Amino acid sequence: MREVLNAEWLKAWSGRTWWIMAALAVFMGLLGSSGAAAVADQQMDSGATDAAAATAELIRSWFSVLLASVLFGALFVSREYNTGAINRSVLLCGSRTRLLAAKTIVGTAMGLIFALLAAGLAPLSLWGFFTLFGMDVQWSGEATLTLLGVFTVAALAAPWGVLLGWIIRNQAASVTLVLVVTLFVDETLFRVLPAVGKFTMGIAMGAVYRDAKPEMLSIPLALLVIAGWLALAGYSARRLLATRDIT
């Protein structure tokens, strides 16, 4: 298994996918944090918020890194289907299950790297943009919990993407489905039917990074929901991989 993990780790760093997703993560994080700082500047002038709440909100804006993380995971698997390399990977690995496990483990490790990127850059952007707008940073327990939540969802998004990649197989379809579900379906379902929508993957992740929407799940329950979605995706990916042709 060690050789398989080493091979998949090398694949994760080969090509342009990892640095394009890392650049996307940084761009979206900076875009979100600059917008959060601009809004906080206006709200603090009008008395609608305070320094502690504005600090936590800017940290929260880095949740967008999860999108780059889940896209990396989906592409990590589906690009091998598109190039036809998946056949050789299974033959060299010796078992479809071993390959699925190895890609999931390596995908999770890459998710941790994306999470560390978010956890490191979020405080730096906080001090940078607050200084630019002439605001004072007030770090609180809420800011710490929010940063932990951002780290957690960015890390868990990668194995979620890996498992979706095994299920969907096609590169373009994987990217399209991830974007549509993450950006539109989960949010729309939550707005229309919050009692149902709060159990979707995207909204459950929102509860973990302490999104301020009403009717959100508690963090422990949200983590259980995320674990349930990962388990369901893992079961579906394993079953489809074992019963369908690899083409």
User: Which tens digit of pLDDT belongs to each residue from 148-182?
Assistant: 999 999 999 999 999 999 999 888 898 898 888 88
Give me the long-range contacts of 25-30 (CB less than 8 A, separation at least 24).
25/64, 25/65, 25/67, 25/68, 25/69, 25/114, 25/117, 25/118, 26/117, 26/121, 28/64, 28/65, 28/67, 28/68, 29/61, 29/62, 29/64, 29/65, 29/118, 29/121, 29/122, 29/125, 30/121, 30/125
pLDDT in tens, 29-84: 999 999 888 888 888 777 778 888 889 999 999 999 999 999 999 999 988 888 87
Q: Give the CA angle between residues 198, 142, 153 to the nearest 5°.
A: 45
What is the percentage of the chain residues whose pLDDT exceeds 90? 45
Residue 225 has pLDDT above 90, yes or no: yes
Over residues 125-149, the pLDDT tens digits come to 989 898 888 888 889 899 999 999 9
| pLDDT tens digits along 84-119 | 787 777 777 778 888 899 999 999 999 999 999 999
Quickly tell me which residue has 């690009």 as its tokens.
79
Tokens 């760093």 sit on residue: 13
Tell me the pTM.
0.89
Return the pLDDT at 247. 65
Q: What is the mean pLDDT of residues 242-246?
A: 78
156 phi, psi to nearest 5 deg: -75, -20
To the nearest 10 degrees (0 to 180), the angle between helices 85-93 and 96-132 is 120
